A = this chain, B = another copy of it.
């Protein structure tokens, strides 16, 4: 066994040594700019200050924040102190956030201005959450919170003796679960630093790169660039949250070279008036993920932004990158060159360092063109779900991760996702697990049966739709059902359309009594070529 165990702290250490005076972070929300040397000093202060709060190695620390330079600092400070970061999806309802905080036993929560109220409501529900740290540039934090800046000014000390690194867990990211309860994927120092290599190799990141965080940092898709960009000594630019005008403005004024967006964001940026006039000449890679881009949108996007679109496919459990399709491949596809034209509908091919197999139900490997379940293997695969042994045992099999997604691979290993075993909707780049929505609907006393699935939507890709059967003698209204659900789940998960049926119009079922969602879905998708939904 090699004695070498990678540590996330080494990523920042290299940048702060070799690129000490280079721009590390540009926070367009606060106007702050910091070098790598300054960032290292602050991160080391935060790490020491955090441990002074009475935390032990392996304790969980939450983050509930828009994008910012401080948000990035926490991605280094928390693992450096031997603690486990739990970066929360701020779009979740308070009940969901409190569930996660309790499930992972968050002791300290970093929260920015935007989510102070939510954090306080979480604290009411979670007695063990003893400290809120206010992520504000001000030295006077909100009432009953600690000042982030005071923590960052703590005298640094070494954590070399903490011994965390390698296969120790550095972060937990919660994802929706097929059982309806979110579950926390545990990612180690090795997982996250391996993924950084996979990103660097795929995008050829270098120290001249300027990456814009315009998608939410709490999503690993954007957040993971914390490590890849830093390792190469590049620059991070932040806008608090996506907005077409600010994104286009940042592209121009900050000479952005790389970013990650979902197709919905790209579409919104294209519609913005600024798109026609912004100077976008610095862009070299816009990575998009979550779903393929319709080719009409691709053509329009390339004509505005240039031949810079590359696709990524992955999942939290894979830290997250699994497969990739380069900008060059997109250009050949758009030009109609085969097999690239066909591959525009794919999710790319496995990146360097990651292996994929498509398997039959009996575990044997499919032939090219034959659909089966996507299995993933690599140093980037999580070590399990937090406190969910059963789900871990189901997901990690003989050194492989079972993704639940169904796909076929072509002869060149390009993955075509044809169905999601997890029954997940991707709407505007957000993953929505239908079971979670169905559970919320079933919580209404008048509901007999419910089925939730995605239907086509021009802007978001998919939209959440519910088919609901009332109990005998009950008359429900769609809007009332939505209001009911709003108390339980995040706004973005709410059904946008609801079809209410009487108990005399039951949902179609299989012989075993299982609701046949595919039959329900089919009429909505009948005139679409794509099998993904």
Interface residues of A (CB under 8 A from B): 1-6, 10, 13-14, 17-20, 167, 188, 190-191, 197, 200-201, 204, 206, 231-232, 349-350, 352-353, 355, 377-379, 381, 383, 396, 398-399, 411-413
Contact = CB atoms under 8 A, between A and B. Distances in A.
Nearest to A400: B3
A379 B204 contact: no
A2 B197 contact: no
Given A204-B204, A231-B352, A232-B201, A399 B17 contact: no
Contacts of A352: 14, 197, 200, 231-232
B20 A167 contact: no
A191 B1 CA distance: 11
A197 B353 contact: yes
Which one of A2, A353, A355, A396 has the highest number of Cβ atoms from chain B below 10 Å of its Cβ? A2
State the 3 A-B residue pairs at the shortest beta-carbon distance, nearest first: A3-B399, A204-B204, A17-B413
14 contacts: A2-B188, A2-B190, A2-B379, A2-B383, A3-B399, A4-B381, A4-B399, A10-B355, A13-B355, A197-B201, A197-B353, A200-B352, A201-B201, A201-B232
A412 B378 contact: no
A412 B19 CA distance: 7
A349 B18 contact: yes
Nearest to A197: B197
A210 B130 CA distance: 58
Contacts of A13: 355
Contacts of A350: 14, 18
A319 B206 CA distance: 22
A379 B201 contact: no
A14 B18 CA distance: 33
Contacts of A188: 2
A51 B518 CA distance: 51
A232 B18 CA distance: 27
A355 B349 CA distance: 31
Nearest to A191: B2
A206 B17 CA distance: 27
B413 A381 contact: no
A520 B381 CA distance: 57
A411 B197 contact: no
Contacts of A14: 350, 352, 355, 413
Nearest to A383: B2
A383 B1 CA distance: 8
Contacts of A412: 17-20
B204 A381 contact: no
A381 B9 CA distance: 19
A411 B167 contact: no
Contacts of A201: 197, 200-201, 232
A379 B2 CA distance: 7
Contacts of A232: 201, 352
Nearest to A13: B355
Which one of A6, A19, A353, A355 has the highest number of Cβ atoms from chain B below 10 Å of its Cβ? A353
Nearest to A380: B4
Contact of A204 (B2, B197, B206, B377): B206
Given A232-B201, A399-B4, A20 B411 contact: yes
A398 B3 CA distance: 8
A528 to B, nearest CB: 29
A355 B10 CA distance: 8
Contacts of A191: 2
A159 to B, nearest CB: 16
Contacts of A3: 396, 398-399
Contacts of A2: 167, 188, 190-191, 379, 381, 383
A17 B232 CA distance: 29
A317 to B, nearest CB: 13
Nearest to A200: B201
A48 to B, nearest CB: 20
Contacts of A200: 200-201, 352
A413 B18 contact: yes
Contacts of A377: 4
A20 B410 CA distance: 12
Nearest to A409: B17
Nearest to A381: B4
Contacts of A355: 10, 13-14
Contacts of A353: 197
Contacts of A413: 14, 17-18
A23 to B, nearest CB: 15
A46 B80 CA distance: 46
A382 B6 CA distance: 16
A381 B14 CA distance: 18
A35 to B, nearest CB: 13
Nearest to A368: B17
